[in-house]
Copies of this chain bind each other. A is one copy, B any other.
Amino acid sequence: MATLDFWFDFASTYSYPTATRIGALAAAAGVEVRFRPFLLGPIFKAQGWDTSPFNVYPAKGRHMWRDLERTCEALKLAFRRPEPFPQPSLLAARVALALEGEARVRFSRGVFRAEFGEGRSIGDRETLSAILKDCGVEADAAFARAESPANKEALKAQNARAAELGLPGAPSLVTAEGEVFWGNDRLEQGLDWAIGKLR
């Protein structure tokens, strides 16, 4: 079965529609998707940014928020801008990485929906606990695994791999041969590539 790695940061705006859309599209295409949480922070820092480029460059940021609103409307997806932006995504990334399989997928979608669909803060444990509960996962045990030294190291390894792949941002889709597709706009193309339609 063809595979596709879906790299995302929970603070990434366009990762929200991708996380929501990718399940059904991948199932229809017969592609196995691996949810790979990572942190954009180190990549941004390497480029000299101490916050999201959407804050660093206001014209880009203004367009992005309006464009995201239009994108969500077209998909009939709830949209509400969280404050502040970007949201702290470290804890959510650690939790997602500590989960496996369908639990990771459901938790990740839940975090994106809370953050960009309801404008909730994803930095605090209460929000994440409620999402974990909705996924049938015991929150305290999940936090303990998330914050274990091994899992913290595993997230660092993910970030190192993302840097090695040269990911320009999130969402990024990476095929088995290392072909990189950046952005929610490239989801369909990434899936087509994965199943050999474009090669």
Number of chain A residues close to chain B: CB under 8 A:
24
1/0 per residue, CB under 8 A from B, across A59-74: the answer is 1101100110010011
Q: A70-B189, A180-B66 are in contact. Are A168 and B198 (CB under 8 A)?
A: no
Interchain CB contact under 8 A, A57 and B63: no
Closest B residue to A63 using CB positions: B168
Q: How far is the CA of A74 from the CA of B168 in the complex (A)?
A: 22
How near does chain B come to A191, taking the closest CB pair, in angstroms? Answer: 14
CB-nearest residue of chain B to A172? B63
Interchain CB contact under 8 A, A59 and B167: yes
- Complex Cα–Cα for A83 and B70 (A): 37
CA distance A74 to B199 in the complex (A): 10
Q: Are B47 and A166 in contact (CB under 8 A)?
A: no
B residues within 8 A CB of A166?
A: 59, 62-63
A31 at the interface (CB under 8 A from B): no
- What 1/0 mask marks residues of chain A from 158 to 199 whose CB sits below 8 Å from any chain B CB? 000000001111000000000011110110010000000010
Q: Check if B182 sits within 8 Å of A63, measured CB to CB.
A: yes
A139 interface contact, C-beta 8 A? no
User: Is A43 an interface position by the 8 A CB rule?
Assistant: yes
Residues 70-103 (chain A) with a chain B CB within 8 angstroms: 70, 73-74
Q: Is the CB of B67 within 8 A of A186?
A: yes
Residues of chain B within 8 A of A57, CB atoms compared: 47, 168
Q: A4 to chain B: closest CB distance in Å?
A: 15
- Tell whether, in the assembled complex, residue B185 and residue A59 are in contact, meaning their CB atoms are under 8 Å apart: no
> Within A90-145, which residues are at the interface with B (CB < 8 Å)?
none
Known pairs A182-B67, A189-B70; A62 contacts B168 (CB<8 A)? yes
Contact of B59 with A43 in the complex, beta carbons under 8 Å: yes
